[in-house]
Structure 1
Amino acid sequence: MNKINKVLLSILAGIIIIIVALSAIAVCTKNVHPGEGLRHEDPLPKSVGGTKTAFNHIGQIRAFTRENEKSAKSVLVLTPWFEYDGNDKAFYEELDRKHLSLKALLTKYFSNHTKAELLKKGESQIKSELKAQINENLVLGKISEIYFNDYLFLD
């Protein structure tokens, strides 16, 4: 039994040495870029200050992206919230009344694009396009910004 433990420990030590050596080589040769491709987190709704207020009644959305000949559908999970002028009670009521149609607009937007198209556009361009579409559907005011608490592709 003692001999088996020594063999297993030496195999484990060899694996650890290989992992450390390969990681060191990758970092030293600049082939690795830690954090590349990670999304920068949006602020939380409670952090909005001044006259701005957060509207976060949309909730979590699960949308299928469009399928094409190269890729299958992906599921996108996002939790959007909007920033608007908090002094406008009538506009809040419009947002609250239209929150289901705004949720449908967001779902339709993502279902009309493939995962590759969405990744190519980038989050900032998607947000500006969505903000324009949402503001076209609003009468009493405009949202000043759209944020995503969650923005995940599930494959």
Structure 2
Amino acid sequence: MKKTHSLPVLFTLFCLGFAFDSQAQRKQYVAKNSTVKLDFATKAGSIVGENQSATSALNPKTGQMLFTVPVQAFKFKRAIVQKYFNYPGLVYSKKYPFIKFKGKIVDFARIKLRKKREYAIVIEGELTMRGVTRSIKATGQLKTGRKEIVGFAQFNIPDISKYGL
């Protein structure tokens, strides 16, 4: 019997703020406190975890982005989930300490970072979990302004077993 898991919302990824400084030609914006939410849909119900220790980076010229999420920093409401989440049968954080996303915002040239606006965006890239890398695409929102960039994207993974879970 094949074991399948549904993970309808992997990350509420990209909830981040980049503080602007006075440099107009900054090479990269980095946030070390990005929030990532994990929502496993199981037969017994939803298991939700949150991580506020993700590092994210955005290249303001190309729209290239990178997220590095420390697996052990996820916090769950139920203690039993917290205990077993990092074990070898699940995420196995000792062997695979990070979840990574490397990709880009599609059609980034249309986005004006210094103007106060909200954009619908498409993100494409590669998500790596447990040493398995797969292409992924998501839609989201990007709010820009004079002092910060805030974004939200939801990555859906219908078959988490493709990542060795």
| Shorter-chain TM-score above 0.5 | no
Compare CA radii of gyration and give the structure with the larger one: 1
Give the alignment's TM-score, normalised by structure 1: 0.30
Q: Which has the higher helix share?
A: 1
